Amino acid sequence: MSPSGADFDVVVLGGGPGGYAAALYGASAGLSIALVERDTVGGTCLNRGCIPAKALLQTAEVYRTATHAADFGIMPEGDGAFRPDWARVEQRTTGVVDKLVGGLSTLLKRRKVTIVKGHGRLTADGAVEVDGQTLRGRATIISTGSVPRSIPGFEPDGERIVTSDHSTRSDVLRERVAVIGGGVIGSEFASVFTDVGVQTTLLEALPDGVLPIGPDREIAGVLARSLARRGTTIHAGARVTAPSPSDGGLVVGFESGSTVEKIEVDQVLVAIGRRPVTDDIGLESLGIALDERGFVAVDTATMSTNRAGVYAIGDVVDTPGLAHVAYAEAIVAIQHILGETPVPVDYTGVPWVVYTHPEVAWAGLTEEQARAAGHDVEVHKHRFAGNGRAMIIGETDGMVKVVSAKNGPILGFHLVGPWASELLAEGYLAVNWQATPLDVGHFIHPHPSLSEAIGETMLTFSGRSLHG
């Protein structure tokens, strides 16, 4: 338990995924934990990010399915139209979030984690001060998360110019929306808006308009074409200029190549990434080092900062900004605090998922990265177009792509298509266990199932195949 003079074994600053994971894992190991959170436990991911965004994507899927009900022999009556009631959508999203927040709060209480409400700051003597209350711990974990980045001239007002924080909790659906940024967040919202009938324009500064950083380019291309077919207008290499007001909306100008264009929209969603929350938390009082991009500098083997006994995890460090990565970093930090030898996170092999339609998921190296690293690469693909289960559910757009060292282990596993988020687990394990395609190809996949596409792809590496 806590040494003399300390109230707790660990004080955790921030109650998002990294923070609450550290609290739960540490408490399960018998540590006394104080969790400081100024807002609601769960952080951005649970309250304004991952969970509500995916609830909106599920609504979009239901709406998309309903509007194609006739394809399955279900004939709507009346005018045959389905229309989203966005107020009810927001109500359902809020219900999902509230239930998860309630469950998390109950679990923290059951583990005897002390939750301290308020804004916490580190002090020069290593304590954490929360609105006049001083908390002392043998160790401190910084997990203050991140907030959306902004663009000069596009400062969010919550109505006409918004961030993902606003869009996940809005009960109003605009008719025309410009999404600035084609990364994970921008692509997911473009997918939602397009599927529920919003006139959507996606503006991305980089040459590849959709998911320009991260997934295999061939995989990202499938999503880009799908969005375009469904009605998303995509402009790559687009440099935006500050908007001007119009009748009830905004005019957004942008340069794309040699052309200058303007579009009139009802709302602009700025989705250009997130920045770490490191201001006004007392880092300077302890001399905590930041890197050149403003993230807390850590030794990723232990998640330790340059100050003994102080750790940092999650979005405040320059590692993949994913909730499940924050979970893993929390375990590393707590194990080090316990005096154990943690297994560091292998950031090259973490699972990534983009919950668009179709979904995109991957783990490991892209084909381009594998070749650049000097590997003798072998690549095989299998499309969902001939997959029986994909035909049954009416979702045949997509593929499995496996990147392997020739006669060696799987280097990268890439998916785009139906339920890629769930299918990724098999590929993630294969990459991280350094399995060969033939190792995986020996396993039987149930029929009919989407997972058969994985088995077919692996089997092809043997020089033989069934349906490929």
pLDDT of residue 1: 35
Architecture (CATH level 2) of domain 358-460: 2-Layer Sandwich (3.30)
Q: Are 272 and 181 in contact (CB under 8 A)?
A: yes
Q: Are 216 and 420 in contact (CB under 8 A)?
A: no
- Backbone φ and ψ for 95, nearest 5 degrees, come out as -60, -40
pLDDT of residue 74: 65
pLDDT per residue rounded down to tens, the chain (468 residues): 343 345 999 999 999 999 999 999 999 999 999 999 998 898 888 888 888 888 888 888 888 888 887 777 666 667 767 778 888 888 899 999 999 999 999 999 999 999 999 999 999 999 999 999 999 999 999 999 999 999 999 999 999 999 999 998 888 899 999 999 999 999 999 999 999 999 999 999 999 999 999 999 999 999 999 999 999 999 999 999 999 999 879 999 999 877 889 999 999 999 999 999 999 999 999 999 999 999 999 999 999 999 999 999 999 999 999 999 999 999 999 999 999 999 999 999 999 999 999 999 999 999 999 999 999 999 999 999 999 999 998 999 999 999 999 999 999 999 999 999 999 999 999 999 999 999 999 999 999 999 999 999 999 999 988 876
User: On the CB side of 378, how many CA atoms lie within 13 Å of its CA?
Assistant: 16
| CB within 8 Å of 63: residues ≥ 6 apart | 82, 84, 195, 196
Site of tokens 């998360």: 145
pLDDT of residue 259: 82
Look at domain 8-148+275-347 and name its CATH class: alpha beta
pLDDT of residue 60: 86
Give the angle 366-189-271 at the CA atoms, nearest 5°.
75
Catalytic, 447? Answer yes
Q: Are 69 and 367 in contact (CB under 8 A)?
A: no
User: On the CB side of 187, how many CA atoms lie within 13 Å of its CA?
Assistant: 29
pLDDT of residue 2: 40
Instruction: For domain 161-272, say whether CATH 3.40.50.300 is its number.
Output: no
Domain boundaries along the sequence of the chain? 8-148+275-347, 161-272, 358-460
Q: Which two tokens stand for residue 282?
A: 């007392």
Q: Are 314 and 143 in contact (CB under 8 A)?
A: yes
Whether 8-148+275-347 shares its CATH topology with 161-272 is answered: yes
Out of 68, 442, 447, 467, pick the active-site residue: 447
